[in-house]
Structure 1
Amino acid sequence: MSEQCTESCSSCAEDCAERKEGKPDFSAKLHEKSSVKKVIGIVSGKGGVGKSLVTSLLAVTMRRRGYQAAILDADITGPSIPKAFGIKEKARGGESGLLPAKSRTGIDIMSINLLLEKDTDPVIWRGPVIAGVVKQFWTDVIWEDVDFMFIDMPPGTGDVPLTVFQSIPMDGIIVVTSPQELVSMIVTKAVKMAEVMTIPVLGLVENMSYFKCPDNGKEYQIFGDSHIEEIAAEHNLKILAKLPIEPKIAAACDQGTIELFEGNWFDPAAEVLEKMEGKKNA
């Protein structure tokens, strides 16, 4: 394999051994001092649906249930996880590897913003470089005794999602959607990519599903009628959660206090995760 390999055989002219064998292996080895039992990718076919919020709340939910949770922020050009958890200190490096930052409640977090001098500095890199950094978050970071790692994926089906699916042993993905009709097509793309990569789809989460008026208690569908039941039925998937439009959630993310926010929307998702057959990646 060439040192400049982009892991995209379809656009490569290199006559490497992997191409000749027809079975390229892009898997990345977890750091020798790491222990990660289950890896869950949080994906969507488009941006702006709230993957980072869902990732954060899933990690918080599992931590509250007594599990060691971790977040690998693979959204290199739009990292928002450290902000939601109020993490300002930078990641620490040692002789053996990088150490993730820890949140107030002990959630391990690694994000590009923990390595930049300023969290407002833009990351202006091409796809293969970004994908390589995400792999390093898996291979060079020491993840200690993690029960559930959640990977906050960038939107779409491009370089980085492909690299993650090929490099990191995923136990399943959760697809995040919103209540617009066009989302059905977008979800289908994400589900089909998971099927091609032979990764189980654990279920759907609909964000911005409704707004509950504090004055009269009625629910209003701001973004139109939900289609999540139809989408779930079409793909034979579970609906794991419906998140409301809740200003207090946005405020908690802005203030870095997402761990302190109370809500039980992800209890059904947590039950699905707890039933998964455990494995230990090495």
Structure 2
Amino acid sequence: MACLLPGLADELQLLIIDAIHDLDALDNPDSQSCPKTLLNLSTTCLQYRALLRLKLFDTATLRNTIISAASIHALAASEYAENVRHIQFKGSIDIRKFSAAMDDVICSRGGSIDVDEYQRAAAAVLLPRQVHDILSNLGLFANLDTLTVCFDVGLTWWPQHPQLHLLLEEEKTHHWMILFKKTAEALATNQQHQITTLRLLEVVPTPHCSSSNTLYSTAGRFFESIESLYVTFKKDVSQGCDLDTSYPRHFRISMFEFFSGYLQAGKHVRFGQKEWRVDSDGQNKVDIFNSIVDLSLLMW
């Protein structure tokens, strides 16, 4: 029996495709990759490949691996690059691979290594050069306007020390802190980009203001063109964490320092379910700051 779908009007076919897309999402709600059924459908003929290219290539996921970076580079060099409007970077760390690599580095230096050497060696392992090259050159995709950054960090990732100076020393060589910083430095390297929407998801703040803003403050001028900023915090961030009593104050100060430079007239900000747009005269910035630094708003 001949398939009747290709004979339908494009509009009707797209409605059917939308329904398939929704079913894919129900089958695998946590998937951030191309819907499997749509991907299979796109391989059946040139007509469906043309119809589906906007849906299949609208979002590209960059994982923190050399293989993923190669896929993104291939996409950037293809005819579908113009369809990519959203890149989501998923920062993760293979702890076993990282530990083994750093053991080799330390052994090669006679079992001793200073902080600067350790940071340089760790950075090369934690953020592969190929991934760094993409994050630092988002202009690879001419129509890219949205960037999502999410790190697969546990609730209690930070080092635990009773004395602040010991904590700060350990943070210099902590793998997550190094990855945060190198990611931010890569973004800051962008000379030109068209990103207007930035989404920072599942943020887990550190308990001390000196380093809790590393990703955001280091990125610097990258934020100047951002018109809409969306921030979500990992659920139950305050549970199961041995935080000192100064944590809320440090965190509020850190957030204030960053957003005081970001919130200009017309900017749109969303924290969880709370959102604001800065008045043209900036008069509502104080109200926004008061809401942002209210820690109760960050617990969703």
TM-score surpassing 0.5? no
Larger Rg: 2
Coarse TM-score class (shorter-chain normalised): 0.3 to 0.5
- Tell me the TM-score normalised to structure 1 length: 0.32
Which protein has greater RCO, CA pairs closer than 8 Å, 6+ apart? 1
- Tell me the TM-score normalised to structure 2 length: 0.31
User: Could you say which structure has the higher helix fraction?
Assistant: 2
